[in-house]
Amino acid sequence: MLAASPSAASGLSLRRSEEIVDLIDLFSKTQYRAKEVTPRVEAIEKRCLELFARDYKYSIIQNSSGEVCGHYPRQIVFLEYESTDGDRDRYESTVQISKLQDLVNRSKLARCRGRFVCPVILYNGKHICRSATLAGWGELYGRTGYNYIFSGGSDDTWADSEEFPEDSEVRNGDSQLFDKVRGHDIKLLRYLSVRYICDLMVENKKVKFGLNVTSSEKVDKAQRYADFTLLSVPYPGCEFFKDYKDRDYTAEGLVFNWNQDHVDAPLTIPPCFSQNLNIDWTQYQSWDLVEQTQNYLKLLLHIINSDDDSGLLVHCISGWDRTPLFVSLLRLSLWADGAVHASLEPAEILYLTIAYDWFLFGHLLPDRLSKGEEIFFFCFNFLKHIVSEKFSAVRKQRRKNSQFRDGEFTVEDLCQLRSRDRGQRHQPEQRLLPHH
């Protein structure tokens, strides 16, 4: 921060603190929908663009009224290169935004709820992307889904339809449809130079009403995704985080029950990654939530540092609980190394990841709070577990801001929010980030 009078610095810190409090207040009460935008949401969108522009030259993937995806940002940021001249020479983007927009429009049906592969972090010229998992037969052919496909509508509920056609001849034609929609998905992945796909689902397919509503790359029968490096890294869904809340927000010692009937996706990591991290992956079912999250984050950081040219896709089922958890942790960890968003201060990167990675990408915070499924709170409470050098992508220098402090402003002060600010009935000492 530039030198300023104590009163000016204090005023700036207060504004930043209030900015995040206002954001969380809105987030805790409102589900973001691209077609129902208020002035408060417009202000959040504008602020995100300002923060991205501090360090990057970017283009916009247009989603102005949710026509591409009803719960993705209206202005989806495609980061082309860091705005320093040196970085442009090293990593100038070869992606044309018009072609990218066309591929997005064509590929949106391939994934659950239309949540297509979307680049969200630019690291050393490589795109870290997020999405939902692949749509299955039930979703593509559900009655509402059928209308969505052929009318061009953007009904947010289409993936939840309970009605499916009984005509076996229609169902037998699914291979041709999958060839088409998944073919577009693969073209988009290749255009973004994505090679690695990390699937956080604990199941191979999501079954609903006896049908495969969603699928995943790892069980695609036609092996369409064989050219990609697929990693199955099963991680508990948002329901598990009610146990976290019920244990007074203590993740240590909290172990997921891997013996449930629907849990059928084993951890599968190529030897080139599993052998280089000094982690005994065979013990993953005995890890508590802290160790599991730490090890998965180490894996993701290792992947993006192991290949100079290829990007990474992270997804779960819908892509709005587990996916933003790891996208947010990646963004914050890389920022702490000075590797992304280098000019942003702690309060600014915190605002950006809450607003963009969580709110504008459709995390259902009001619903999750009402059920006690506090994966959002866990994300920021977990930061105390990743401040060491073991989580650094840059080995040469000490991780900056490991205390997440900013001169006059401390994030820990912000996080001692009153219950009304968090939108829930918590004691005042509950906070989004821990004391250090």
3-state secondary structure of 130: strand
The active-site residue out of 118, 129, 238, 316 is: 316
169 φ, ψ to 5°? -65, -40
Looking at this protein, which amino acid is placed at residue 279?
I
- Residue 282, classified by CB atoms within 10 Å of its CB into exposed (0-12), middle (13-18) or buried (19+), is exposed
**Pairing, β 75-82 against β 311-315:** unpaired
DSSP state of 398: P
User: Euclidean distance between the first and final Cα of the chain, in Å?
Assistant: 22
Separation CA 9–CA 290 (nearest Å): 36
User: Which residues on neighbouring strands pair with residue 315, listed in sequence order?
Assistant: 131, 199
DSSP string, 311-378: EEEEE-SSSSSHHHHHHHHHHHHHHHTTSSSTT--HHHHHHHIIIIIIITTT--HHHHHHHT--HHHH
Separation CA 58–CA 149 (nearest Å): 30
Hunting for tokens 């989806």 — which residue is that? Answer: 76
Determine whether 238 is an active site residue.
no
The catalytic residue positions are 316
